[in-house]
A and B are shown apart, each in its own frame.
Chain A
Amino acid sequence: DQQVKQNSPSLSVQEGRISILNCDYTNSMFDYFLWYKKYPAEGPTFLISISSIKDKNEDGRFTVFLNKSAKHLSLHIVPSQPGDSAVYFCAARRAGGTSYGKLTFGQGTILTVHP
């Protein structure tokens, strides 16, 4: 299932700088997109989401941008902190039909923030 792709397996950033994590999708029926953070031995923790009717959503240090025409979304973390080091998953949900909230996940990107 390649409907949601995170093409960068890993990203390394200096503390205080911006982290940009990218995600591409192919299914134009997706209407809601989420970012999750995952530490080892824990479940995915919800970070931020965006509806397809918006192109930007901000929550503190986290901003998600959605470019529907390019079927691309990105998560910006500013400033990055060492505690942000984790695996970041992009996920998408389809509008309507028989898809009752099913999330389709990307492969994840390992973010390492160096002090």
Chain B
Amino acid sequence: EPEVTQTPSHQVTQMGQEVILRCVPISNHLYFYWYRQILGQKVEFLVSFYNNEISEKSEIFDDQFSVERPDGSNFTLKIRSTKLEDSAMYFCASSKADYSNQPQHFGDGTRLSIL
């Protein structure tokens, strides 16, 4: 069964450094998402992406964050200057559509640790 893949599984970065998290969504999916889960907290929405542009973003997704689909398969989340509070599990998800009851399918996540 097709799945969303994320790399790396664990990223350790010094505060202030840039980090890029990578995702390969399911191939026939058109909508892409990033979520994060800080330890002990809920899974929270960061951003949705369709047709090469951001569809919606949360308050968390400030100027330090950006997303890109550099080619036909990858979908990346960049954090320009990481802070301690960016430490979390970051999940990528994709769906065939954002309507008509199409579920989002998630990758296994990247654990980001900021030192």
Contact of B106 among A1, A45, A99 (CB under 8 A): A45
Q: Which residues of A85-107 have CB atoms within 8 Å of chain B's CB atoms?
A: 89, 91, 98-107
Q: Is B84 an interface residue (CB 8 A)?
A: no
* Contact indicator per residue, chain A 43-84, by CB within 8 Å of chain B (1) or not (0): 111100101000000000000000000000000000000000
Q: Using a Cβ–Cβ cut-off of 8 Å, how many residues does chain B contribute to the interface with A?
A: 27
Q: Is the CB of B43 within 8 A of A99?
A: no
Chain B, residues 6-45, CB within 8 Å of chain A (1/0): the string is 1000000000000000000000000101010000001111
A-B contact count, CB below 8 Å? Answer: 64
Measured between beta carbons, the chain B residues less than 8 angstroms from A106 are 42
Among residues 60 to 110 in chain B, which have CB atoms less than 8 Å away from a CB atom of chain A?
A: 91, 95, 97-99, 101, 103-109
Q: Which chain A positions have C-beta within 8 A of B31? A: 100-101
Interface residues of A (CB under 8 A from B): 1, 32, 34, 36, 41-46, 49, 51, 89, 91, 98-108
Closest 4 CB pairs of A and B: A101-B98, A100-B55, A43-B106, A105-B43
